[in-house]
Structure 1
Amino acid sequence: MAPNRKLLYKGDVNRIYDDEYKASQAAKKEKLFIRPSRQRKMKNAKWFGIGMGIDLPFCIILLVLLTIGTIMMFSASYAFAYYTQSDSYYFLIRQLIFVVVGIIAMGVMSFFNYNKLHKIAPLVLGIAYVCLLAVLVLPAGDGGVKRWIPLGMFNIQPSEIAKFAVILFFAHWASKYYDKMQLAKFSVLPGIIVFGSIAMLLFLEPHYSGIVIIGMLTVLMLYIGGMKTKYLLIGGVILGGLVLVLAVTGGLSYAMSRMDGWGQALEYTTEEMWQTTWQTRNSLYAIGSGGLWGLGLGQSRQKYLYLPEPQNDFIFAIVVEELGLIGAAIILLIFALLVWRGITLSLRSKDKFGKLLGIGLTSQIGIQVVLNILVITDWLPNTGISLPFFSYGGSSLIMLLAQMGIVLSISRTANIERQ
């Protein structure tokens, strides 16, 4: 308790004031010595740390994957680049440009208030529709497909924008109508309208792997958003019936052609089947050649014009050949850690929108990794699914890094105690 100065003599009062003054001056001196270190800690906390800055473990895992992916992309591509472009560094130089642009986009988005995306989710979905429509009026690319909007050395793939738009829109929708998501008109109906319209546009390209991924993302977002399980079962039956009708009527001729030779890469019986299964068969050769420890970094044999375009969808076959089963398992473990960390951060977000958005963006990585591995091992037909952070491509890499920046933005408000 403070002393009652009315009962003290004048000398005692002066002594008390003098002691308080000295104590205040000592406290100020202490602050002068301590404050710089505290300022440095607070400055670091704004960059890294849960609840105060972007999540450091997530950043490290992501940068490790990106570094390994870039190295392996160069290792897989330099022979093909020299043969087709007379420059072994052709794909590497461009990929490094995409990496720099993507990291800048990730940094910008990590400081962007992700809640502002809540308001513009319908607008982003509209932009995705415009891009999907625009690509249909442009000249067809290799193989007669229309999947890219050319912009000089950089091509935009509208399906990558559509993936993000679908995740964002359903995170917005489910968080806005969370209490009503068990009703079909608030879950099933929006899902059918959005996915159905996007699937139709992708069908015209055609881009069936994009339809599969966006369909899986739609189901995921609606389910975690509160949709009843029985609607998933009913939707699955309806979708299966639709696919069957299209297959019988010839509407899936392109997709059926991609299924020729599925599961028969090592059991070819005719010359035609030999050519059809060429890519998948050489993928299996590469995986088998790697063994337990691999042939060594840069020592792949299948990348020397045996495996077509090894820097793209089948890059992981080269990874297994050079790094072996052990190296491939470690990379898959790093992917699993990235997905786990991203979902953990998202679940600790303080708002429903952040939870749904973060889970959706992180789950896209896991979905594409699983599908890519199933394709290169002939468990799924060759449908052209890129491996995140490994496969060559600008729009995919930049979009993924920007989306990971949003996850980092969500981590700033994650309700987790700092370690």
Structure 2
Amino acid sequence: MTQDTMPRSQSAPDRLRARYRDYLSRPFFDYFVILSVVGLITAVGAVMVLSSSTTWSALDSGVWTQGVRHMIFLSVGYMALWLALWMRPVLIRRLATPLLVVTIVLLVAVLIPGVGTGLVESGARSWLVLGPFTFQPSELAKVTLAVWGAHHLSDRGPIRHWLNNPFMHYSAVTVLIVALILQQPDLGMAAVCLSVAGLVLVFAGIPGRFIIGIGGAFGLLALGTAIFSALRGNGEGNYRTHRIEVYRDALLGDFDDVRGKAFQSYQGFLSLAEGGTSGVGPGQSRAKWFYLPEAKNDFIFAIIGEETGLVGGTIVILLFGALGIVGLRCAMRSADPFLKLLAATLTAGVVSQAFVNIGYVVGLLPVTGIQLPMISSGGSSAIITIGSMGLLASAARHEPEAVSTMQSYGRPAIDRFLWLREPDPAGSQGSVAHQNRPTRRPAEAVTRRPRPGSPPPADAHQAQRPTRPSGGSVTGGATPRRLPRSGGPSRTDRHHTRRRG
């Protein structure tokens, strides 16, 4: 065999592409990647909150108080993730409307003076006190809009009127929830809820150009109004105008008030610059020593950039990017309309919030005050966001390939460890066992085979004997019996008479 006729070995790039396609084709790829990425992001958050909160915790009770408290919330969030994986999709759909009612009641309760708190601390009455913990209903509202929107819009029928249709119903509910959040006032969370609602409408099939056009028009109008008011007035006391001014300075790289309104953004820039490529090392941040406000919350990405450098910040961005790609891939592979819409909305909502937070820390977007999902310190935010990732993992677990593989080969090791049941192939449409259960018609007679040697029932001959209806025909389609002639005995009677004679 000559050298030209010998089979050539596959090159290294081709082997890598083949291995990559092999991993993508595996039935549990999306499920495992979602759980792994969520675990890595929360691990990064636990380490960074523990590092960035030591100085502020030392002023209260102990050095590790805030870090331990955040780990407790992460544990509760993983319990919510397990519960979301354990619930059937049909149960999630049944709980969508009660969840909406509870969310609206909590948003109304937050506005009651003496019930809602946080107006003095953060400028917005957004929290409810539940014993030693505080709860933010607006965090629940963004997940409620995704779950109820997927439930209400997934099985919609044809639109018969432009006003009375599922899209208008969902838009009316969104306006009510956003209006309640604006009354707190919490502009950042209202923008997040509006973005989630817009994503639900886009993924549900409404033409995206209308949403982009209307949103862009309102955005340009708000931006123009803020810039015009900043040019006309001095801007004192108007924090929205200050944010626009700081955003302009961040884009130009020239802060004119580094000790006033631009102090936080300027300190975030210094932290990122000091980190360089590899960072100053875990726990060695200088900005957390009372230089950077909200170091463990809104601007925690600046601490990540300072302690881990460009490498650590890039890893965090890649983790959220992988979550977005796999989550949208799960939505495209799902055969259930409810799970498809739910997976796409939850993925886009969490990833867009993450990139908005990173964007205003690095100066590409105005500061909105929203947290970095699953990384920033927070009780209700961490619990609800991790729980929503359980819903996303449940959608990946109900992909057709994953369901068929579990039916043939059993559950994977992670499901056996978590005591999870096999997924329902019917998804959110109901139990397959209930749908495939044979039903008996009311008029259908039940016949049982008699035991050997047992006498036939007394009414057996009567049940088999055709009955004569009032119309003169025999029911059941059987051959009619010949009736005796009037005025004389029948053939059977004459036969018995001759035998007796």
User: Normalising TM by the smaller chain, what interval?
Assistant: 0.7 to 0.9
Q: TM-score, normalised by structure 2?
A: 0.67
Give distance in 1, aligned partners of 2:240 and 2:38. Answer: 34
Identity among equivalent positions (%) equals 30
Q: 2:378 aligns with which of 393, 402, 417?
A: 393
With over 3 angstroms needed to count, the CA separation of the structure-2 counterparts of 1:268 and 1:333, relative to structure 1, is closer
SS at match of 1:218: helix
Contact kept? 1:174, 1:226, Cα under 8 Å: no
The offset of 1:54, in angstroms, is: 9.1
Which residue in the other structure is 1:341 paired with? 326
The offset of 1:191, in angstroms, is: 4.5
With over 3 angstroms needed to count, the CA separation of the structure-2 counterparts of 1:356 and 1:121, relative to structure 1, is same
Which residue in the other structure is 1:269 paired with? 256
Contact kept? 1:66, 1:389, Cα under 8 Å: yes
Give the RMSD, CA atoms, in angstroms: 2.8
Q: 2:174 aligns with which of 195, 199, 203?
A: 195
Letter aligned with residue 57 of structure 1: V
Which residue in the other structure is 1:328 paired with? 313
Give distance in 2, aligned partners of 1:183 and 1:276. Answer: 46
Q: 1:125 aligns with which of 85, 100, 121?
A: 100
Which residue in the other structure is 1:300 paired with? 285
Q: 2:189 aligns with which of 187, 210, 213?
A: 210
Which residue in the other structure is 2:130 paired with? 151
With over 3 angstroms needed to count, the CA separation of the structure-2 counterparts of 1:277 and 1:286, relative to structure 1, is same
Q: 2:156 aligns with which of 177, 180, 201?
A: 177
The offset of 1:216, in angstroms, is: 1.0
Unaligned runs of 5+ residues in structure 1 are 1-48
Contact kept? 2:242, 2:261, Cα under 8 Å: no
Give distance in 2, aligned partners of 1:178 and 1:65. Answer: 39
With over 3 angstroms needed to count, the CA separation of the structure-2 counterparts of 1:322 and 1:221, relative to structure 1, is same
Letter aligned with residue 214 of structure 2: G
Q: TM-score, normalised by structure 1?
A: 0.80
SS at match of 1:263: helix
Give distance in 2, aligned partners of 1:125 and 1:73. Answer: 32
The offset of 1:314, in angstroms, is: 0.3
Give distance in 1, aligned partners of 2:76 and 2:221. Answer: 41
The offset of 1:229, in angstroms, is: 2.9
Contact kept? 2:279, 2:309, Cα under 8 Å: yes
Which residue in the other structure is 2:65 paired with? 90
The offset of 1:407, in angstroms, is: 1.6
Whose Rg is larger?
2
With over 3 angstroms needed to count, the CA separation of the structure-2 counterparts of 1:193 and 1:245, relative to structure 1, is farther
The offset of 1:182, in angstroms, is: 11
The answer to whether 1:356 aligns with 2:341 is yes
Unaligned runs of 5+ residues in structure 2 are 1-25, 406-411, 413-501
Letter aligned with residue 410 of structure 1: A
With over 3 angstroms needed to count, the CA separation of the structure-2 counterparts of 1:237 and 1:349, relative to structure 1, is closer
- Which has the larger share of helix? 1
SS at match of 2:309: helix
Letter aligned with residue 177 of structure 1: R
Which residue in the other structure is 1:405 paired with? 390
Give distance in 2, aligned partners of 1:187 and 1:281. Answer: 46
With over 3 angstroms needed to count, the CA separation of the structure-2 counterparts of 1:188 and 1:351, relative to structure 1, is closer
SS at match of 1:145: coil
Contact kept? 2:154, 2:337, Cα under 8 Å: yes
Give distance in 1, aligned partners of 2:96 and 2:352. Answer: 22
Which residue in the other structure is 2:111 paired with? 136
SS at match of 1:261: helix
Letter aligned with residue 85 of structure 1: D
Give distance in 2, aligned partners of 1:121 and 1:246. Answer: 38
Letter aligned with residue 222 of structure 1: L
Contact kept? 2:110, 2:126, Cα under 8 Å: yes
Residues 27-83 of structure 1, C-alpha deviations (whole Å, 9 max, x = no match):
xxxxxxxxxxxxxxxxxxxxxx947x992232122111111110111111112221x
Q: 1:259 aligns with which of 220, 231, 244?
A: 244
Contact kept? 2:30, 2:330, Cα under 8 Å: no
